[in-house]
A and B are shown apart, each in its own frame.
Chain A
């Protein structure tokens, strides 16, 4: 790229970065300011007297347990949903399933139904089943929401993996299950990671379902816990922003770790010349 190209690139990227990163940086800055400096005029991005009191307050209020709950629910639902979804996706590609197009349309239809529309009936059912306000309630609901997406994602990827790869592994002395585990799954990693990331973000960001299905503070998720810092007599901006920063960390870390898989292709070079 010549200097003119670089300049154009920089001019385009700067506003985009400000829009995307600005609020996060401001939240970080606010979370480190003492209460009396948060609304100081003129506003300062870099706090002159940084403090961790807001973070300490979050811990004192037990928000770290909500963080742990959110993580537990998200990980459990992702593991369950992606395992089930990938198995179903594989079966829908490799086995002669009856009414296959209908099954796929059903999964698609499940994605199209807004889950909040079903929230109240679901709550009633969960109360009757004794699942309301338990640690199982949210993972079950999140997993049901992620499964159709995981099926579609993994199915598309399995369909693109040549069957010869599986045949080659069978001839090389591996059982069907071993062949799928050693050859097909590593190939489907981008799809599995994409489905997992989607599922994790959905579970992690959810507020409505979490506030409807779980009541007791011990089982609360992070978004529900943070809402209490909005308070009745004015917002506790410092603590709220500290919570926002903590809530942002897992998705960002996830993306940084898996960005190569989320973007990269897979089966290039496996077959033909």
Chain B
């Protein structure tokens, strides 16, 4: 991609914070978003991550003004935009379906926001800005074509061009990569990251793809059932999930959760005996461990043991699934490790700190200090 045509100062000046204050959205009897509180700092790349129907797109639409919150307020910068029309919010949005105007050429599509009556952009300025944006996105030779005449990846860039041709306060991106094939998605992902670094803009990204969320974001808000389960830096969320939902949802595959009981600082579950955090005896806990934090050992030497059910060869390593009591435990092992299906093996955490503990009553994680 050619070098940036926007100076950082120029774009940074337009970046604004976004604040949700007790936002609730109901559709009839269904609550799509529940008591949503979130602050996104200017220039941050924040992802709303969650399964389908968790309310992430509704949240994005509320910032855009395409949906009105039932309760609460939304602020962009210091401005309360809760009831302001989308056109007056000065935001840009990239839709999952790209939403390019089919009767307009690529040039006219990118120029469309600038030509809005309320912006009053000089035509010479429009031409310059569109050409600059097209150059930045590698679309300069396609400007006279129509959306139907370009490829999926190029359409995606046109949608991005339409968003960045003016300097909006916030960029909203609704699963913009989900319609691309795997290879193009990885490429566009890094281009998007690059674009964010160069524009220094506030970007709010919605996806159900945790790979995208992890690689792109400064912070991630994991959502489920219209609520934020956890908000934080990708690494923090991955290493220290706040509850069972985040533990299971993040990671490919997610964290293995083994439910059991604590007696005399010892955690017991079928085929599992492990040192437990200091909690009252009889407390029911869940032990969580990531597949890469388990290492195979002799069946009698490890805190857990089980029968190997499947082995998936992944190149540099293999993913094994082991029946430990009623739980299917996943673990990454070196691909050259001698393990056979049906064999009984032991598994142990690589370090004591790699184990997370959750209270089964509340589903919340226990503070780390209690574990280590």
Contact = CB atoms under 8 A, between A and B. Distances in A.
A268 interface: yes
Nearest to B166: A173
Contact of B99 (A162, A173, A174, A268): A162
Classify chain A's interface size: 20 to 34
Interface string A126-159: 0000000000000000000000000000000000
A150 B257 CA distance: 60
Contacts of A175: 85, 87
B179 to A, nearest CB: 5
B148 A269 contact: yes
A168 B95 contact: yes
A272 B66 contact: no
A183 B118 CA distance: 17
Nearest to A179: B87
B253 to A, nearest CB: 29
Grouping DSSP codes into helix (H, G, I), strand (E, B) and loop, the A interface class, with mixed when no group exceeds half, is loop
Nearest to B162: A172
Given A164-B95, A173-B87, A186 B148 contact: no
Given A164-B95, A268-B102, A173 B118 contact: yes
B93 A171 contact: yes
A183 B85 contact: no
B148 A173 contact: no
Contacts of B180: 273
Contacts, number: 91
B87 A270 contact: no
Contacts of A267: 102
Interface string B41-71: 0000000000000000000000011100000
Given A171-B92, A269-B147, A178 B117 contact: yes
Contacts of B155: 269, 273
B133 to A, nearest CB: 14
B98 interface: yes
B147 to A, nearest CB: 5
Contacts of B147: 269-270
A271 B66 contact: no
A187 B116 CA distance: 19
Interface string B88-120: 010111011111111100000000110011110
Nearest to A168: B99
Contacts of A187: 102-103
Contact of B87 (A170, A269, A271): A170
Contacts of B103: 186-187, 266
A165 interface: yes
A100 interface: no
Given A168-B93, A172-B113, A271 B65 contact: no
Contacts of A259: none
Contact of A174 (B64, B87, B151): B87
Interface residues of B, number: 37
Given A266-B102, A272-B97, A273-B152, A170 B146 contact: no
A170 B66 contact: yes
A270 B92 CA distance: 18
Given A162-B97, A269-B102, A271-B99, A171 B146 contact: no
B86 A171 contact: yes
Contacts of B148: 268-270
B149 interface: yes
B99 A167 contact: yes
Contacts of A186: 103
A248 B152 CA distance: 46
Contact of A171 (B64, B101, B117, B118): B64
Contacts of B151: 273
A171 B169 CA distance: 12
B205 to A, nearest CB: 16
Given A171-B87, A172-B162, A268-B102, 11 more contacts: A167-B66, A168-B93, A170-B87, A171-B89, A171-B91, A171-B92, A173-B118, A266-B102, A270-B102, A270-B147, A273-B155
Q: Which 10 A-B pairs have the closest CB atoms?
A: A269-B148, A273-B152, A173-B116, A271-B97, A270-B102, A164-B99, A172-B113, A168-B99, A170-B86, A186-B103
17 contacts: A162-B97, A162-B99, A164-B95, A164-B99, A167-B64, A167-B66, A168-B101, A170-B65, A171-B65, A171-B66, A171-B91, A266-B102, A269-B100, A269-B149, A270-B98, A270-B102, A273-B156
Interface of A: 162, 164-165, 167-175, 178, 183, 186-187, 266-273
